[in-house]
């Protein structure tokens, strides 16, 4: 059994919005989160309004991540990012 520890978030969802999702996933893992998933939104048609691979929001257990808040390291972290429509 793996023991979960507490992790203090160094970022809010707003801080991470617009950054490249791969960078954000790495930052979150370096911050101590162990269950990080990148979820494409498949919402870009022409690429005028949104930049491909740009983060829209970061959720922890379904809620937006808050800066300086403590979470369990194994919490479900979802990074939602803009991607081309399939």
**32, pLDDT greater than 80:** yes
Structure confidence at residue 3 (pLDDT): 66
Q: Which residues pair with 36 in a beta bridge?
A: 77
Query: Average pLDDT, stretch 15-40?
Result: 97
Distance (Å, rounded) from C-alpha 48 to C-alpha 3? 45
**1, pLDDT greater than 70:** no
Structure confidence at residue 58 (pLDDT): 98
Distance (Å, rounded) from C-alpha 30 to C-alpha 33? 7
- Residue 21 has a CB neighbour count (10 Å cut-off) of 22
Task: Report the DSSP pairing between strands 63-64 and 70-72.
Answer: unpaired
More confident residue, 48 or 56: 56
User: What are the sequence ranges of the domains in the chain?
Assistant: 6-81
Q: Which fold has domain 6-81?
A: Trypsin Inhibitor V; Chain A (3.30.10)
Two structure tokens written together for 29: 């893992």
């Amino acid at each position: 059994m793996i023991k979960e520890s507490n992790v203090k978030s160094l970022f809010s969802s707003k801080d991470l919005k617009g950054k490249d999702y791969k960078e954000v996933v790495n930052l979150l893992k370096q911050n101590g989160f162990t269950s990080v998933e990148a979820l494409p939104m498949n919402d870009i048609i022409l690429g005028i309004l949104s930049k491909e691979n740009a983060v829209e929001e970061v959720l922890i257990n379904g809620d937006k991540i808050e800066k300086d808040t403590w979470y369990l390291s194994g919490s479900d972290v979802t990074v939602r990012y803009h991607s081309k429509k399939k």
